[in-house]
Amino acid sequence: KPFKYPIPSNNRSITLTVIYNDIMEYKVIDLLLEGMGYLKGFLIITDKTEEVSNMLMEDLDRGVTLFKGIGMYSKKEKDILLCIVNRPQFTKTKEMVYDIDQDAFVMVVDVAEVVGEGFEEITNQ
pLDDT digits (tens, 9 = 90+) for 69-86: 998 999 999 999 999 998
Query: In this structure, is residue 48 part of a structural domain?
Result: yes
- Exposed/middle/buried for residue 118 (C-beta within 10 Å: 0-12, 13-18, 19+): exposed
> Are 45 and 101 contained in the same domain?
yes
pLDDT at 125: 52
Domain holding 82: CATH number?
Answer: 3.30.70.120
> Are 59 and 13 contained in the same domain?
no
pLDDT at 11: 62
The closest alpha carbon to 35, from 86, 83, 100, 91, belongs to: 86
Query: In this structure, is residue 51 part of a structural domain?
Result: yes
pTM for the whole structure: 0.67
Query: In this structure, is residue 17 part of a structural domain?
Result: yes
* Number of structural domains in the chain: 2
For the cut 70, the answer to whether the pLDDT of residue 3 exceeds it is no
Contact 101, 41 (CB under 8 A): no
Measured from the Cβ of residue 16, the count of other Cβ atoms closer than 10 Å reads: 11
Distance (Å, rounded) from C-alpha 12 to C-alpha 31? Answer: 29
Tell me which of 90 and 116 has the higher pLDDT: 90
Per-residue pLDDT band at 20 (split at 50, 70, 90)? confident
The closest alpha carbon to 42, from 72, 74, 6, 85, belongs to: 85
The closest alpha carbon to 72, from 94, 48, 45, 108, belongs to: 45
pLDDT at 24: 83
| Residue 115 DSSP symbol | B
> Are 97 and 63 contained in the same domain?
yes
> Are 66 and 28 contained in the same domain?
no
Query: In this structure, is residue 120 part of a structural domain?
Result: no
Per-residue pLDDT band at 110 (split at 50, 70, 90)? confident
* Full domain range(s) for residue 78: 39-111
